[in-house]
Amino acid sequence: MTDPTPGDPASRPPDSAPGSAAPDAAVPAAEARIAEELTDGDWHRLHPATPVLRGGVLFLVAIGFLVSSLREQLVEQFVPGQRRDGEQDLIPMLVETGSLIWVILALLAFTLLAVGVSYLSWRMHTFRVTEETVEVRSGILSRTNRRARLDRIQGVNIVRPLVARLIGAAKLEIQVAGNDANLPLQYLRSRDADAFRLRVLRLASGARAEAAGSAPAASGAPARGFVGSRVDDFLAPELDPDAAPPQSVVRIPLPRLVGAVLLSAPTVVLVLFVAVGIPLIVRFEAWYLLVPLLPTLLGSAGFFVRRITRSLRYSVAGTPDGVRVGFGLLSTSNDTIPPGRIHAVEVVQPLLWRAAGWWEIRITRASHSSSPGAAGQQNTSILPVGDRRDVDRVLGLVLPDLVGDQALALVAVGMTGHGGADDGFTTSPRRAWILKPFSWRRTGFAVDASAFLVRRGVIWRRLVIVPHARTQGVDLTQGPIDRRLDLVSVRAATVAGPVDTRLGAIDRATGMELSTRLVQAAVASARSDTSARWGAEAASWPAPGSAAAPVPAPEPVPDPRPEPDPASAPAEAPRHRSTPEDPA
């Protein structure tokens, strides 16, 4: 292992940015050069402030525990006499006994010990990026070595918590298919995180890097300074205007975000709780009910505030390396999903949103974010709330193969259609009303050249889209009631996720024909799908500081051999759990 030196980018002070008067291209070139150094195959350490960020959090947790003991005093102010005899708060008791100073010293000692252990952990925590894998080594007594292949990367997420942003650090998480398979790099220099992610995604795409060219001379302008760089970071837009075409950016206005939160199920439950609780308290003078009511109201207010503030500045944009999803005001998070990593898409419209014409888009991915709360919400909800135009633009980003007037018409009918003879969807037969008395007319499916569409729900409208290339199998099931009604259920098998791809209450013969059709479409799409290495045939990108333009990729040479029959390649076909025989 090569120890970091003062010139190592992983050991630099936070945000030692170049001079503000330097040319605009100097800062991206410098960041790209540092990212290239971090992906040179050698071992590197994380941000030097990592021990403080990890150990200092424990001190904040202890302070929060002490402050939380004042909650009983707050309740006592509103509901006097509720304290039990002999009951005393923790902080006043420590003050009276003179033990508060010792408790504070113990907390400080514990914090210093935690920081020391974190420092040793930082010294032993290293990472490297090669042309094939990302590898992380960690541990003091028990050593662990985790690696992920570049072609298995499902996305790269950058989280900038508030405390980390103050010192110019960011957490980068490389998301890999599987449970607990992600590789977190906690923390990196904030200004290097975006360039490092871009470099990793380019390596994962199969694109080739050119040899380093002549780098431009560094500007001699005075440095911006630590405070100035931190101010610029907080005032800068969440999405760099040069990172994506303006027409591909989808944003959520603040009034729509607030309205969506207010018209949600938790709000309805809270309103019913207050509407029932307040009259009972006044009518029967049951003031003791304020004890559970006040904490509930305070907790609900905090929940709504966190949900709104964490979703502020939400943006979805298309970039050359995938779909970028970013949000956050004080603590920010942005995730880049490479092409071909989305296995299923669901467009949902709750009943309370129908009058406003709002929709939500959820996705299924092979990776599972380890970031809690709103930092992990973009892992499943790529558009928390949007109108029809936003839905069309986001679907164009996440499903680029779903193009053409016919496909767009199917999406429109799938979202708002009620079922008809000529709407493009095959619906449930009339006898299915016993199982779906309100939605049997709407329940149905359509098969496009690139995807399988499932439409269901009357109160909660849902449209599920499964790309053929991501279909891993087809399930054909029939329960006892289905057998009696000559119906079946068909499910396009994908990786586990929030999107349910099952289609129920379909005619048996139609379901068997659909199952065979989906298998054939999945085989053909899997043979032609190149999204796993989306940059392998693209032009190589220039090295940092190189002024040479990208060299266009050579024209593909046609293969004189005949195209093999899809039926002759059963190894690439997805599993087909059902057989084309009578399920009965």
CATH for 436: 2.30.29.30
Measure the CA–CA gap between 187 and 169, rounded to whole angstroms: 6
What residue has token string 């080739």? Answer: 208
Residue 145 contacts by C-beta under 8 Å, 6 or more apart in sequence?
Answer: 135, 136, 137
Measure the CA–CA gap between 362 and 499, rounded to whole angstroms: 7
State the pLDDT at residue 549.
41
Which token pair is 518?
Answer: 């989906």
Which token pair is 7?
Answer: 């010139």
Measure the CA–CA gap between 31 and 328, rounded to whole angstroms: 23
Measure the CA–CA gap between 359 and 517, rounded to whole angstroms: 30
Q: What is the DSSP pairing of strand 473-477 with strand 575-576?
A: parallel
Measure the CA–CA gap between 261 and 186, rounded to whole angstroms: 31
Q: Which of 80, 101, 120 is the last residue of a domain?
A: 120
Residue type, 273: F
Contact present, 61 and 33 (Cβ < 8 Å): no
Measure the CA–CA gap between 400 and 145, rounded to whole angstroms: 37
- Burial degree of 47 (CB within 10 A; 0-12, 13-18, 19+): buried
State the pLDDT at residue 83.
53
Alpha helices in 380-533 (DSSP H): 388-398, 405-416, 480-485, 508-528
Which residues sit opposite 467 in a β-bridge?
A: 451
What residue has token string 């032993």? Answer: 124
Q: Which of 120, 144, 167 is the last residue of a domain?
A: 120
What residue has token string 């003179």? Answer: 98
Per-residue pLDDT in tens (0 to 9) along the chain, 584 residues: 444 444 444 444 344 333 333 333 334 566 778 878 888 889 999 988 888 777 666 666 666 666 666 555 555 655 555 555 555 566 666 666 767 788 788 878 887 887 788 888 888 999 999 988 999 998 888 888 999 898 888 889 999 988 888 888 999 999 988 777 889 998 898 888 888 998 999 888 877 554 444 344 444 445 567 677 767 776 676 676 666 776 668 889 999 999 998 898 888 888 888 888 888 888 887 777 777 778 878 888 888 888 887 788 888 988 888 899 988 888 888 899 988 899 999 999 999 999 999 999 999 998 765 554 444 454 688 999 999 999 999 999 999 888 888 888 999 999 998 877 678 899 999 999 999 999 999 999 999 999 999 999 999 999 999 999 999 999 999 999 999 999 999 999 999 889 999 999 999 999 999 999 999 999 999 888 888 777 665 544 444 444 444 444 444 444 444 444 444 444 343 444 443 344 33
Q: What are phi and psi of 364, to 5 degrees?
A: -115, 125
Is 111 a member of any domain? yes
DSSP notation for 36-63: HHHTSSS-EE--TTHHHHHHHHHHHHHH
Q: b vs e for 424-460, b when ≥16 Cβ sit within 10 Å of the residue's Cβ? A: bbbbbeeebeebbeebbbbbbbbbbebbbbbbbbbee
What residue has token string 């009511």? Answer: 293
Residue type, 392: D
Q: CB 53: neighbour CB atoms within 10 A?
A: 21
Measure the CA–CA gap between 425 and 415, rounded to whole angstroms: 12
pTM: 0.76
59 three-state secondary structure: helix
DSSP notation for 305-359: HHHHHTTTT-EEEEETTEEEEEE-SSSEEEEEE-TT-EEEEEEEE-GGGTTTT-E
Domain residues for the domain of 113 are: 54-120
State the pLDDT at residue 23.
35
Residue type, 124: M
Which residues sit opposite 149 in a β-bridge?
A: 133
Size of the chain, expressed as the number of residues it contains: 584
CA contacts within 13 A on the Cβ side of 316: 23
Is 378 a member of any domain? yes
Which residues sit opposite 196 in a β-bridge?
A: none
Measure the CA–CA gap between 415 and 409, rounded to whole angstroms: 10
Which residues sit opposite 408 in a β-bridge?
A: none
Is 558 a member of any domain? no
State the pLDDT at residue 241.
66
Contact present, 519 and 566 (Cβ < 8 Å): no
322 Cα distance to chain centroid? 13
Q: What are phi and psi of 112, to 5 degrees?
A: -65, -40
Is 59 a member of any domain? yes
Measure the CA–CA gap between 406 and 526, rounded to whole angstroms: 22
Is 243 a member of any domain? no
Q: Which of 104, 120, 136 is the last residue of a domain?
A: 120
Measure the CA–CA gap between 500 and 482, rounded to whole angstroms: 19
Is 175 a member of any domain? no
Which token pair is 193?
Answer: 């995180």
Contact present, 518 and 511 (Cβ < 8 Å): no
Q: Which of 413, 486, 488, 406 is nearest to 454 (CA)?
A: 413
Is 286 a member of any domain? no
Is 581 a member of any domain? no
CA angle 580, 583, 584 (to 5 degrees): 145
243-246 LR contacts (CB < 8 Å, sep 24+): 243/317, 243/319, 243/324, 244/317, 244/318, 244/319, 244/324, 245/317, 245/318
State the pLDDT at residue 472.
92
How many structural domains is the chain composed of?
2
